Amino acid sequence: MTATGVPGTLRRTGAALAGGGSGTVYALLALVFAVVFAINPSFAQPPSLLAFAQQAAPLVVLAVGQYLVIVAGELDLSVGSLVGAQVVIAARLIDGQESATLPVLLLMVAFGAAVGLVNGLVTTVLKVPSIIATLGMMLVLYGAVRLWTGGAPTGALSEAFRTAGRGDAVELPLLGGVPWALLIAAAAGAAAVALMRAPQGRTLVAVGDNATAAAFSGARVWRVRTLAFVGSGVLATLAAILIGGFAGVTAQVGEGLEFSAITAVVLGGVVLGGGRGTVVAAIGGALAVEALFTLFNQLYLPSTIQPAVQGLIIIAAVAYASRERSRRSPRAPADAGGPEKSPREEV
């Protein structure tokens, strides 16, 4: 490592953040899978791959939600706590009664949207930076749930509730059961792709890229960003339904998921600060993170290594993206209001 390279790179990191394409992350995904297959050929069989898809589905959904917020130039740290809160609320309200499933599901969606709305309004109207607003929301939800439950969740989820995360939609010849979770995550991903191609999606990216310019061209920046937070809240609710369905209710459910989601999104080359990156790449990032953890497990590495690796991925992915960006166009457009704004950009 040469000393002269460091200051230049550091300066550029602040000045210019941009992403590689989705090709990079899917290449990484293929590489990780190739290694996993080499270690354990039985993992290449359809039932194992479908089990992988089922288990990766919640993170994919969370990554899509986090993408909406990040591409609009913000960050949502509250999703992990929201997932935990939603599962605990669902268990307590359903308490094993099948008939309560649907009303509680609707209530959860409303609650998720409300949390997103509060996050969005606190960020846009009260002008609290989203990293603080959602950090606050994360702690509020964490504490409120513990206060409400006295520290330990009660109740139980119904069988119907658990179908989405645990059950199979169809039984296919050769393949075996195709989990609902896979179809739900695919639907969420497809909806997000459609949204990003629509004018609303382009506005979202434009707001993240340069809020001032977007405002001049007629976008209501505060409304777009608030809606991105609402989307993240609703998708976190969907993830909660999948996770609760997958493994039932435990006191620790949801912990640390916000960082897994952010890791997935930045690994997909989506730029923190907004305006760059595709939702397909974010989904690829989620799959790659899950695949990587599968690989660690296959190598018998302890699961306590995961936070360390996540941290390194976040740093390395952002550093890589900034390097790509500085090569392509040295003068990045100013990111409106983002924490990455450097004095150089204002000249």
Partner 1 sequence: MRRSRALLAAGAALSLVLTACTTDAPTDGAPDEGAETGTGGDWFDAEEYEAQLAQRDIEPEGPEDEPWLQAIDPEYADTSEHALEGAEREDPTVCFSNASVSNPWRVTGWITMQQQVEVLQESGDIGEFRVSDAADDDNQQISDIQAFVDSGDCDAIIISPSTTATLTPAVETACESGAPVIVFDRGVNTDCMVSFIHPIGGYAYGADAAEFLVEELEPGSKVLALRILPGVDVLEHRWAAAQRVFGDSDVEVLGHEFTEGDGATIKDLVTQHLQRGEVDGIWMDAGDGAVAALEAFEDAGRPYPVISGEDELSFMRKWEEEDLTALAPVYSNFQWRTPVLAASMVLDGEEVPEEWVLPQEPVTEEDLDEYLERNAEMPSLHYAKFGGEDLPGYPEAWQDR
Write out the residues near partner 1 by the rule CB under 8 A: 1-2, 4-6, 8-9, 40, 42-43, 48, 51, 55, 58, 149-156, 166, 243, 246-253, 255, 294, 297-298, 300-305, 308-309, 312, 316, 319-320, 323, 327
Please state the closest distance from residue 224 (CB atom) to partner 1, in A. 33
Please identify, using beta-carbon distances, which residue of 33 and 246 lies nearer to partner 1: 246
Q: In this structure, what token pair is assigned to residue 140?
A: 């509020």
Please state the closest distance from residue 72 (CB atom) to partner 1, in A. 28
Radius of gyration over every alpha carbon of the chain, rounded to an integer in angstroms: 20
Please state the closest distance from residue 181 (CB atom) to partner 1, in A. 12
Please state the closest distance from residue 6 (CB atom) to partner 1, in A. 7
Concatenated DSSP letters for 104-145?
HHHHHHHHHHHHHHHHHHHHHTS---HHHHHHHHHHHHHHHH
Please state the closest distance from residue 91 (CB atom) to partner 1, in A. 9
Computed from CA positions of residues 298, 300, 305, 311, in that sequence, does the dihedral angle turn out positive or negative?
negative
Please identify, using beta-carbon distances, which residue of 38 and 319 lies nearer to partner 1: 319
Please identify, using beta-carbon distances, which residue of 216 and 300 lies nearer to partner 1: 300
Please identify, using beta-carbon distances, which residue of 173 and 302 lies nearer to partner 1: 302
Please identify, using beta-carbon distances, which residue of 119 and 326 lies nearer to partner 1: 326
The beta strand positions in the chain, using DSSP E, are: 168-172, 176-179
Please identify, using beta-carbon distances, which residue of 259 and 320 lies nearer to partner 1: 320
Distances (CA, A) of 326 to 205, 236, 322, 332, 341: 20, 34, 6, 8, 15
CA–CA separation, 62 and 260 (whole Å)? 9
Q: How far is CA 83 from the centre of its chain?
A: 12
Q: How far is CA 318 from the centre of its chain?
A: 16
CA–CA separation, 148 and 165 (whole Å)? 25
Please state the closest distance from residue 282 (CB atom) to partner 1, in A. 21
